[in-house]
Amino acid sequence: MSQVKSGDKVKVHYHGKLTSGETFDSSAGRAPLEFEVGSGMVIKGFDDGVTGMAVGEKKTINIPFDEAYGPRNPEMVIEMPKDRFPQDLEIEVGMPLSMSDGQGQQFQVTIVEIKDEVVMLDANHPLAGQDLIFDLELVEIVGGSPLIIMP
């Protein structure tokens, strides 16, 4: 039976959880995730986790934060003056916002604190600093090399 190797395109159903058991993402109810193994399309720990799996195989992998979204960086929590926000925007803690870096790159931030004159914004990935758990099921190796059986 064929096993996943770097360079293979695969389809995987997954259920991603935090170590607390809270679900943060899942492919349930939608098409499986399709990606090329080893291409950097998914986090390193996910790539490593599917490598060696066979079609139909299920397993659970634990991904430490350094193989997921890295550690939280305190320098990515920034202050933004309140007067820079639109007057009609009702800001609240936990609200995600999209910002531009001045060169046209968009990135997401989350409001983490609202003070008198400033709003504290966190530009870390929401899963930075988190160890992740994934339940995986390999659905298909797409366009993998055909299996040739000699008589």
- The 3-class SS string of the chain reads CCECCCCCEEEEEEEEEECCCCEEEECCCCCCEEEECCCCCCCHHHHHHHCCCECCCEEEEEECHHHCCCCCCHHHEEEEEHHHCCCCCCCCCCCEEEEECCCCCEEEEEEEEECCCEEEEECCCCCCCCCEEEEEEEEEEECCCCCCCCC
Confidence at residue 69, expressed as pLDDT on a 0 to 100 scale: 94
pLDDT tens-place string over residues 39-53 = 999 999 999 999 999
| Segments forming the whole domain that contains residue 22 | 9-70+127-142
Confidence at residue 1, expressed as pLDDT on a 0 to 100 scale: 65
Flag residues of the chain having pLDDT under 50. Answer: none
What's the CATH code of the domain at 56? Answer: 3.10.50.40
Domain count, the chain: 2
Block residue for tokens 């066979």: 54
In a shared domain, residues 13 and 66:
yes
Confidence at residue 147, expressed as pLDDT on a 0 to 100 scale: 53
Give domain status of residue 15, yes or no: yes
In a shared domain, residues 66 and 15:
yes
Give domain status of residue 1, yes or no: no
Confidence at residue 87, expressed as pLDDT on a 0 to 100 scale: 87
In a shared domain, residues 94 and 133:
no
In a shared domain, residues 94 and 132:
no
What's the CATH code of the domain at 116? Answer: 2.40.10.330
Give domain status of residue 148, yes or no: no
In a shared domain, residues 82 and 46:
no
In a shared domain, residues 21 and 62:
yes
Phi, psi for residue 138 in degrees, rounded to 5: -80, 115
